[in-house]
Structure 1
């Protein structure tokens, strides 16, 4: 009898005494919102698919992804600058083959529609540092920025830094389990830029998805493993595509291609969400 009482007291002390109504603590991703972070028209998509599609135009989209985790909000990519929403003719590129971008909805307005203030977002991560992905980073001056060290230190135009020096940053050197529970993993996928990264997100009902960033720009390039001519490294690009393909197989994941309008048009956009 004394032994039984002693064991019960031990269980109570270490917090493992079972309870009929106890539920396991929940962790992981609760929701994923796809935000419209830009729409545009590419003048000549052969710059993304060398030797193919010469002179062919294509509609592009630019997505951001807002992820609600039990530990807080994470924003993946920040899109075209919100200021472009006030430009009637959009933002024209220096290279006519590239994309003329428009901003139908600002990022700030879309966050407000789902009841999120910029100050609520404690972490942001960007696939890479091209302007259509980092246009609104400074809407979140206190949010921890997750970026590959190789990308952060890659010199910008006139050797300018790619981010405000005072912005809090975690410089990665490879993959990173963001929340420590396997639900959101940054994948190092260099090639498009020196420190490009993609994101694996595991949702409780939808399952796993891989957000490509610009590891691939549209499905035809993915199917044919094409590396854009402007990429930093063709070899790294192809290796990163294979890494993504292996991840899709291992995790039974969907591939969500950031700029592919045909695919994006078949997905639910914010304020709807995936869970």
Structure 2
């Protein structure tokens, strides 16, 4: 086993969409050599009135503190995409490097969808690593390009010593019912790209015999999972 490989995966719920009970989550990977890798950072500290469908819970900073970690202990932030509920606390991690798909970062620069959080995700260029497509970040931690929800969205595959492969589709597949090869009813102009990314992840699960897929906002599945301070190993 590589000395850099993931050893633990923590799941953290940082908020909710109260009307639907949908959890807002982020993740922490700890590696054998002691690195801390955060996957998304959840909601911003203060939620503006126009985003009232979201409600803060236990902030990611507080949850990390419960694990004995401070923001400066985070080495890397994997940014799956810059939506309001995924990149809201990026700026808190002043010692971290950020990893994001190049196409997403460039799209966000001119896309009004991401403008409200620009102060969070628009960090100094020397701290942002732009990747192109599927990328092995380190042995046992892979980024999977899954455009559709937004251009350049990325999912994450974590390989753990006991659990084996854990796939985090994030918003490529938000709910388990959508993880199917069947055609989904969708009026989205990005329906074709969403379907292509779903099929790509289904193929990956079958090919790699991945036993655990944690969907991005599935409230029913979320109730069955281990949450921090518990972890998968």
Gaps of 5+ in 1: 1-23, 43-57, 85-90
Pairing of 1:1-275 with structure 2 (within 5 A)? 26-42=3-19, 58-71=20-33, 72-84=35-47, 93=50, 100-154=53-107, 155-157=110-112, 160=115, 162=118, 163-166=121-124, 168-179=127-138, 181=139, 183-223=140-180, 224-226=182-184, 229-230=187-188, 233-253=190-210, 254-275=212-233
Q: CA RMSD in A?
A: 2.3
TM-aligned CA deviation for residue 156 of structure 1: 2.9
Verify the 8 A CA contact 2:18 2:55 in the aligned structure 1. no
CA–CA separation in structure 1 for the residues paired with 2:137 and 2:2: 19
TM-aligned CA deviation for residue 142 of structure 1: 2.7
Verify the 8 A CA contact 1:35 1:110 in the aligned structure 2. yes
CA–CA separation in structure 1 for the residues paired with 2:28 and 2:131: 21
Verify the 8 A CA contact 1:217 1:260 in the aligned structure 2. yes
CA–CA separation in structure 2 for the residues paired with 1:122 and 1:131: 22
Verify the 8 A CA contact 2:82 2:114 in the aligned structure 1. no
CA–CA separation in structure 2 for the residues paired with 1:121 and 1:159: 23
CA–CA separation in structure 2 for the residues paired with 1:209 and 1:25: 17
Verify the 8 A CA contact 2:21 2:219 in the aligned structure 1. yes
Write out per-residue CA displacement over residues 44-85 of structure 1, whole angstroms, 9 at most, x where no aligned residue: xxxxxxxxxxxxxx321111000001241110011111334x
Change (3 A) 1:166 1:249: same
Verify the 8 A CA contact 2:42 2:86 in the aligned structure 1. yes
Change (3 A) 1:116 1:246: same
Question: Which of the two has higher C-alpha Rg?
Answer: 1
**TM-score, normalised via structure 1 length:** 0.75
CA–CA separation in structure 2 for the residues paired with 1:25 and 1:193: 33
CA–CA separation in structure 1 for the residues paired with 2:230 and 2:185: 33
**TM-score, normalised via structure 2 length:** 0.88
CA–CA separation in structure 1 for the residues paired with 2:173 and 2:137: 23
CA–CA separation in structure 2 for the residues paired with 1:211 and 1:149: 20
TM-aligned CA deviation for residue 128 of structure 1: 1.1
CA–CA separation in structure 2 for the residues paired with 1:139 and 1:255: 28
Write out per-residue CA displacement over residues 193-220 of structure 1, whole angstroms, 9 at most, x where no aligned residue: 0110000000111111110110012122
